[in-house]
């Protein structure tokens, strides 16, 4: 129910296109800025895809709970039959479907533009999907902690970016073709841990925000 | 007795020695009152006296400085009450019908529930996006939350804000009907809503 509603709100509000446009724009500009040298793009490309993806997700977090706090929806959520943690998780899953999945799929053209080998595109998309889940799980906490802060985008970045580091490190390893199996396993662990713990911490922060 | 009273006739809400502070300022101390089934408790007080804070504490949103709040002898309020605050809890690009359907799921509407727009004077507006509603119509839509899923205790913070005379009378009728069914209403008001309150508490004096 919360999942369907939030997914519809994210799609309907056009919130999907901005991060997708940012991600594709940023990654497509890299070859233009660095020139066509294949070896240079191949070495610099994977980290740049991951940094662009992380920043694109970051841009969606500021209003994630802030709007609910301002319009009174959060109070109603607190009076629901369902645990707040489950509702927060549903919101995170909706964000993954609305933003994370499209960004992961957009990783394919971005990786091609950055000279990634074609046979590695599939695993890059999968790793981005896992990385998006990890980013969103952590991002839920940052968004909840800063829900009551006007222009809290910078504060969210300060809170969540250190936790974005492991997925970026292991995601870049996948994109570079280094220890792919192990890196994917660690990414999966990051995603599961973030989605398991993030909603619990975010729900606790939201209860404080509601005061 | 023919009137249906779905709620039990035991003390529904008990407040003992409640103290609330906001921003380091004590709003009130040692407030105690109890409300039984069918009672309408009217909260009065000047702006900033603490009426909203009291209602938010009753709803469980605000942690009191001291004191105890019980609902039918239990500490957990969430499933026992509806709260209508200053904000309406509406999303601008969502229709009235979609809001009500969402609330029905959120609050656990019983099987066979119907969209109660007619009861709040919004008949024929189910497909309207809430950004196209006036302030008064948005308030009426928010009030449908009270009707979608029955809950014993209604906490209302200036429920008739932005409503015209007919809307104010409608709120009074809703309160009277709920109390008649054995519900409890605690409402912060500046003007009388219609039904005679069972008790009037002045907050912050």
Strands B184-188 and B40-44: parallel
Mean pLDDT calculated for residue range A115-121:
86
Q: Which residue of B has its CA nearest to A74?
A: B89
Length of chain B: 205
User: How many folded domains does chain A comprise?
Assistant: 1
How confident is residue A13, by pLDDT bands cut at 50, 70 and 90?
Answer: low
Q: Pick the residue with more confidence: A180 or A152?
A: A180
Residue B21 touches partner A, C-beta closer than 8 Å: no
- Binary contact (A79, B81; C-beta < 8 A): yes
Is there a contact between B3 and B180 (Cβ–Cβ < 8 Å)?
yes
Predicted local confidence at residue B74, as pLDDT: 64
Cα separation, B108 vs A179, in Å, equals 49
Best residue in B61, B95, B145 for a mutation probing chain A (most A CBs within 10 Å): B61
**Structural domains for chain B:** 1-80+151-205 (3.40.50.300), 92-149 (no CATH)
CB-CB under 8 Å, A75 with B85: yes
Q: Is A71's CB within 8 Å of B98's CB?
A: no
CA distance B199 to B205: 16
Q: What is the pLDDT of residue B78?
A: 56
Percent of chain A clearing pLDDT 90 (strictly above): 61
User: CB within 8 A of B72, min separation 6: which ones?
Assistant: B8, B10, B11, B12, B80, B152
Q: Are B193 and B205 in contact (CB under 8 A)?
A: no
Judged by DSSP in three states, B174 sits in helix
What residue of B is the nearest CA neighbor of A67? B91
**Closest by Cβ to B78, choosing from A2, A67, A79:** A79
**Could you list the residue range(s) of the whole structural domain that residue A129 is in?**
2-209
What percentage of chain B has pLDDT greater than the value 70?
91
Binning chain B into helix, strand and coil, the percentages to the nearest 5 are 25, 25, 45
Under an 8 A CB cutoff, do A78 and B61 touch? Answer: yes
ipTM for this prediction: 0.84
What pLDDT is attached to residue A69? 92
């Amino acid at each position: 129910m919360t999942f369907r509603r939030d997914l519809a709100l994210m799609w309907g509000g056009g919130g999907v296109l901005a991060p997708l446009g940012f991600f594709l724009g940023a990654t497509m500009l890299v070859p233009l800025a660095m020139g066509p040298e294949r070896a240079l793009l191949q070495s610099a490309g994977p980290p740049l895809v991951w940094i662009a993806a992380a920043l694109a997700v970051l841009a969606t977090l500021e209003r994630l709970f802030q709007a609910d706090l301002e319009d009174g929806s959060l109070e109603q959520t607190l009076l629901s039959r369902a645990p707040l943690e489950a509702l927060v998780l549903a919101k995170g899953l909706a964000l993954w479907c609305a933003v994370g999945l499209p960004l992961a799929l957009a990783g394919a053209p971005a990786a091609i533009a950055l000279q990634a080998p074609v046979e590695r595109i599939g695993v890059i998309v999968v790793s981005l999907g896992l990385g998006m889940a990890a980013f969103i799980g952590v991002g839920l906490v940052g968004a909840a902690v800063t829900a009551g802060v006007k222009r809290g985008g910078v504060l969210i970045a300060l809170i969540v970016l250190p936790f974005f580091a492991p997925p970026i490190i292991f995601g870049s390893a996948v994109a570079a073709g280094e220890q792919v199996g192990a890196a994917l396993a660690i990414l999966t662990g990051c995603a599961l841990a973030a989605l398991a713990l993030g909603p619990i911490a975010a729900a606790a922060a939201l209860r404080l925000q509601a005061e | 007795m023919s009137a249906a009273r779905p709620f039990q006739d035991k003390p529904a809400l008990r407040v003992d020695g409640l103290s609330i502070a906001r921003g380091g300022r004590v709003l009130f101390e040692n407030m105690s009152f109890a409300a039984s089934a069918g009672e309408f408790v009217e909260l009065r007080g000047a702006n900033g006296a603490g009426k909203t804070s009291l209602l938010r504490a009753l709803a469980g949103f605000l942690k009191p400085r001291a004191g105890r709040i019980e609902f039918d002898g239990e500490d957990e309020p969430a499933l026992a009450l509806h709260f209508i605050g200053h904000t309406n809890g509406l999303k601008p690009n969502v229709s009235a019908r979609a809001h009500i359907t969402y609330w029905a799921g959120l609050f656990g509407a019983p099987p066979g529930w119907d969209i109660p727009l007619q009861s709040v004077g919004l008949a024929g507006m189910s497909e309207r996006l809430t950004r196209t509603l006036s302030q008064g119509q948005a308030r009426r839509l928010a009030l449908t939350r009270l009707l979608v899923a029955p809950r014993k205790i209604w906490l209302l913070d200036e429920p008739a804000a932005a409503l015209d005379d007919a809307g104010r009378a409608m709120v009074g009728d809703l309160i009277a009907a709920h109390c008649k069914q054995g519900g409890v209403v605690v409402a912060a008001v500046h003007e009388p809503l219609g039904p005679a309150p069972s008790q009037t508490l002045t907050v912050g004096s």
